Structure 1
Amino acid sequence: MGHHFENESLLTQALTHASSVHASKLETYERLEFLGDRVLGLVVSEFLMDRYPNENEGQLSRRLSALVDRANLTSVAADMKLENYIIYGGGAELNESMQADVVEAVFGAIYCDGGLGPAKKVIEKFICPLSDNAQAPRIDPKTSLQEWAQGKKIGLPSYKEIGKEGPDHQPIFLIQVVLDGFEPKNARGSSKRVAEQAAALKLLNHVTEISDD
């Protein structure tokens, strides 16, 4: 992995899913995942700014989203061999989403254990080299919808959680996207981020169909 933990309990927490019968809510990886996501974003954003000095904010944002997406994080989980150490139970499935979440939690744990320097070193080792094989970043539905709305000068879309289904360790989020002058669209996803993208795609398809008529 590239980091020796002084506080090994942080690593254990980063590897513990909420479905584990031995874990309380505060002993699972969710809080470390929250922190690790921000640390990952900071380190990769700095890396991309240095690597692509002539690109604007929108281009860098798309590169960031592509570089830290679920597929890449799952690939990193395999490189770290984390699937052999993740602690879970209660009928939960060791899927890509869980593995990607654990990678972010591990980054958060490293930050808590040693600070930004060690976390940056590990992220640069596992994440940043993936940019060498990255294709030109695609525009995700949320970005496309926002850019469409800005072009029409009708305000920006807003997102809100309107429901949550399933067990705590594998929730399904229901997100609604609202854009002035159009019918709101709802979508479900295994995370708020996934549900927001799905809702944005629904609304984007709707508004572009109307515009084409």
Structure 2
Amino acid sequence: MIQILSHRGYWKFPAEKNTVEAFVRSFSLGYGTETDVRDCLIGGKPRLVISHDIPDGTEISFAYLLSIARQHGSPTLALNIKADGLHDMLAEVLAAEGYDNYFLFDSSVPDLIQGVKRRMTSFTRLSEYERVPSLYNEPGITGVWLDNFLPGRWYEAPLVEKLLDDGKLVALVAPDLHRRNDEYEPFLHWLVSSGLRDREGLMICTDFPEKAKELLRV
């Protein structure tokens, strides 16, 4: 059955994105979440923080996010890596918090290689601009982040089925993340009619997780 990931937590207003309130709301309703990880110099020391844009040091720490998630049953965390060279710090914090229900994605290819070398759970990418997924068969590449930047859907169910049959997890980027809200409900109905909704190993990342739960009936 498909798994729902909220995008930057389950926020009601844009200012709530990547905040404690949004994460607690998401986890309390049983959703995993996607979020953004960057490094920031705080008190003269590098720290990992949750921030989509360049951080200023006021953001919540990555370690604190993990502690909140653990308190809510350790849901899936999709970690969008916004800067290169963070793998050692990421591994250290994940180990310290005892958190293993995560995957890294959106790393550059050189950084993706570093994740593979460190045996960190990582997703490669597919989109209309990236038709060949980097490092697809490398150990540690457990899934595919399947994106769709342009209007319409460039892929069909057989592609998703093949990825799943290859033993990969697949996270679908819902069209609302690219401000195509008019495509959102048709996309959800397609997931049902195609039978993909019932496949194990499939995820959807969206700003509207409750709408996804309602229409997908999960």
Q: Same fold (TM over 0.5)?
A: no
| Structure that is richer in strand per residue | 2
TM-score class normalised by the smaller sequence: under 0.3
Higher-helix-fraction structure? 1
Q: TM-score, normalised by structure 2?
A: 0.23
